């Protein structure tokens, strides 16, 4: 897909939806300065062009039993395309892994993992992650405190 040309209104729509995905179309239209029908058409076009990938609720992990967040740097023994794809597919089946990035540098992947507590993470680490085929090393970093959480991306509206 080629790059989609966005005007000021489209960028305002994206910013408002990123800030509040539950905003009504009428309120969104008012905030961006257009009427509701063209606003809805624009939102649908942004969705169809994959600029809007979804709408999500931000949940309190600790209240739902996930008191620990760990970032794990994972190195593979072999980095052939098939081996990388097999690891990515395997990670897709692990619900505790919330984000997975292929990275350049010492590690091949960076995983964001949630667990009930440190023991729960250790069990995941030994039963799944380090036991996975082709995993050569894992370096875990336990988060101490969330200092900033700002989902999405910066969007210039002017």
CATH number at residue 108: 3.30.70.920
User: For 98-118, what is each residue's pLDDT tens digit?
Assistant: 999 999 999 999 999 999 999
Entry pTM: 0.89
Q: Note the pLDDT of residue 49.
A: 96
Cα 101 to Cα 91: distance, rounded to the nearest angstrom: 11
Give alpha helix (H) positions in the chain. Answer: 8-19, 25-32, 36-48, 81-92, 118-124
Say if 22 falls within a structural domain. Answer: yes
Is 42 in the same domain as 109? no
pLDDT for 3 beyond 60: yes
Closest CA to 91 of 105, 106, 104, 76: 76
| Domain range for 16 | 8-48
Is 30 in the same domain as 97? no
């Amino acid at each position: 897909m080629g790059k989609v040309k966005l005007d000021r209104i489209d960028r305002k729509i994206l910013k408002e939806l990123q800030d509040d995905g539950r905003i009504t179309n009428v309120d969104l239209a008012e905030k961006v300065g257009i009427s509701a029908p063209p606003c809805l058409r624009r939102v649908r076009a942004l969705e169809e062009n994959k600029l809007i990938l979804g709408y999500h609720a931000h949940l309190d992990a600790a209240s739902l039993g996930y008191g620990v967040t760990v970032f794990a740097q994972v190195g593979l023994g072999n980095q052939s395309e098939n081996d990388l794809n097999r690891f990515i597919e395997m990670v897709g089946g692990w619900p505790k892994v919330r984000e997975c990035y292929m990275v350049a540098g010492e590690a091949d992947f960076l995983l964001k993992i949630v667990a009930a507590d440190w023991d729960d993470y250790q069990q995941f680490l030994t039963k799944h992650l380090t036991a996975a085929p082709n995993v050569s090393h894992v370096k875990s970093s336990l988060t101490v405190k969330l200092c900033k959480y700002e989902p999405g991306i910066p969007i210039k509206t002017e």
